[in-house]
Structure formats: structure tokens, C-alpha cells
Amino acid sequence: MKKITRELVKEFLRLLNPCRVCPRECGVNRLADERGKCRAGRRMKVASYHQHFGEEPPLVGRFGSGTIFLTHCNLTCVFCQNYDISQEGLGQARTPEEVGHMMLDLQDRGCHNINFVTPTPWVPQIVEALASDPAAGLRIPIVYNTGGYDSVEVLRMLTGIVDIYMPDLKYGNNAAGDRYSGVPDYWDRARAALAEMQRQVGDLEVAGGVARRGLLVRHLILPNDAAETRSCLEFIAREVSPRATVNLMDQYHPAGRTAAYPAINRPLTAVEYRQSLQCFRDFGLTAV
């Protein structure tokens, strides 16, 4: 990780007033603790942190992924399985030093990486934490585990700071992003974001079964092909990298507010999964 200077921290903090940390660009003054659409304020909120063994195998390795679950999200996914954290604000405000100690604790437990879940609203605060005194001893990779609705300009600022990008590519069109996640331009923004992530870190690099650097894309299959899986996989293979590593996820189940959305208010069927898996094979992507 490159050295994070005070000036670089200040540059990131300037993104908070007016807030332009994500593509929503709400414009509120988060330095004064004003809240925009995501409800994130000045101080980073953490819901929990622990050794996580439920992530992708290259992140988990033998000793787990050092996962820090952050509160709030810039998407309002109606099927979110962490609804209480992402949209109801479950979590506690933490100082940069406290988060720095969390990272060191996870490293001391043997974790192979520091995995920030839902980092997008908190990029300036994450950089603050990485620049804190406790984090000076950090030696393991930083994972940016995002919903994919990220600002390319902010991602460029993270060059040399993030080692592993793990974005969702949720939908293959803008209409689905608007309907299910509350943003009208998800497909446009996510495609640009994934291209920038690939430019920075390249294909996933694994040594001894553990990821060291690179891009790992997640795609959750939705019932009735609501996510347009083929479009997502085709984009990854043709415009990101033909060697891209992808986790094609079949664990969807109704959660959150899906009762109001009949098309996705049921589990995935075996037939739907097989059809999506055939698309995956058609494009020759690398399975995680």
C-alpha cells in the first residue's frame, strides 16, 4: 500500500463537503454531520468486525477474511439481506484509531486481508483509518467489497491503496437498478467502475490459495432473470477481461421488502441456475 500522507487524507475528506463520494453526489456537508441519501455522516459507523469464513475461498484461505461490516449503503436494494445494517443504520460510530486497532487485531488473528464491506459511503474515513497510527503496522491486502455503484473519480484516487476489488455487478440494465436499488443509472456507473478497477489491479492473482491482488466480481442471479445475467457476464468477458474471476451466486432468497415486488419474491429455481451457469460457460469466465 502506498504511503498515505496528511495531504492525501485532506484531499479525501474534501469529498465530504459537498458530498460527492458516490455517483449520487448528494451535496450535503458531511463534515458537519449532514446526511444525504445513504444516511452516512461524518464518523464511520461499524456494525461488526470478525474473522469471516463465508467469503470467497481466495479471500478466506486458512485463517479467514478480516471483515469489517460498515453501516449504511448508497443503494437501497429491496432484497438486501443486511437490511438492518445497510438501511436501518445498525452500528456504532468509530474513530479512525479505533478502526485502525480493529484492522491490527484482525491481522494478529491471522486474517489474510482487511475486507471493508459496503465501503463506498465511507471512502474518506477508510483512508483516515488507514493513515492512523495503529494501522502503521498493517501488512495484509485491503479489499474493497462494494455494491458496484461507485464514482470513477473516487476510485482513481484509491489507486495504490486498494489491493483487491470485489464489486457486485447486480444488473445488466438501468431499469432494474432503478426498480430494485433506487438508482437510475446503475448499469452505466457499474460498468465504468469495473473497468477502472480492472485498470488498477488487473486479473485476480492468487498465491498459495490466497488472493493477493486483483479483481473478483460477484453476480447474484435473480428470479425471472430480473438481473439480466447474460448481459452482465458478456460485459465482464468482453469489456473487463476474458480471464476475469467471477462468483456466480445462486443463494438468492426473498428478504427486505421483496413482498412488494412479485417478480423476485421467490427463491431461485434449479432451472434458472442451470441457464445462468450455461451463460457463464459460454463466455469462458473463471469461476471462484
For residue 259, the model assigns a pLDDT of 96
H/E stretch holding 191: helix 186-201
| pLDDT over threshold 80, residue 68 | yes
Q: Is 48 exposed, middle or buried (0-12, 13-18, 19+ CB in 10 A)?
A: middle
User: Is there a contact between 188 and 209 (Cβ–Cβ < 8 Å)?
Assistant: no
Nearest to 213 by CA among 253, 245, 259: 245
Q: What is the pLDDT of residues 99-121, one digit of tens each?
A: 999 999 999 999 999 999 999 99
- Output the pTM of the full model: 0.97
How far apart are the C-alpha atoms of 115 and 118, rounded to whole Å? 10
How far apart are the C-alpha atoms of 104 and 68, rounded to whole Å? 12
How far apart are the C-alpha atoms of 102 and 184, rounded to whole Å? 36
Mean pLDDT over 54-62 rounds to: 97
| pLDDT over threshold 90, residue 3 | no
User: What band does 232 get if pLDDT is binned at 50, 70 and 90?
Assistant: very high
Mean pLDDT over 131-154 rounds to: 97
| pLDDT over threshold 80, residue 1 | no
For residue 257, the model assigns a pLDDT of 94
User: What band does 251 get if pLDDT is binned at 50, 70 and 90?
Assistant: very high
How far apart are the C-alpha atoms of 200 and 203, rounded to whole Å? 10
Residue type, 45: K
How far apart are the C-alpha atoms of 4 and 40, rounded to whole Å? 23
For residue 247, the model assigns a pLDDT of 98
For residue 252, the model assigns a pLDDT of 97
Per-residue burial over 58-88, b = 16 or more CB atoms within 10 Å of its CB, e = otherwise = bbbbeebbbbbbbbbbbbbbbbbebbebbbe
For residue 274, the model assigns a pLDDT of 96
CATH topology of domain 6-287: TIM Barrel (3.20.20)
| pLDDT over threshold 90, residue 2 | no
Nearest to 152 by CA among 183, 191, 202, 203: 191
| pLDDT over threshold 80, residue 30 | yes
User: Is there a contact between 118 and 48 (Cβ–Cβ < 8 Å)?
Assistant: no
Q: How many angstroms separate the first and last alpha carbons of the chain?
A: 25
Q: What is the pLDDT of residues 185-200, one digit of tens each?
A: 999 999 999 999 999 9
Distance of CA 273 to CAs 27, 51, 225, Å? 41, 30, 10
Q: In this structure, how many other beta carbons lie within 10 angstroms of the beta carbon of residue 202?
A: 14
3-state SS, residue 208: coil
Q: What is the mean pLDDT of the chain?
A: 97
User: What band does 142 get if pLDDT is binned at 50, 70 and 90?
Assistant: very high
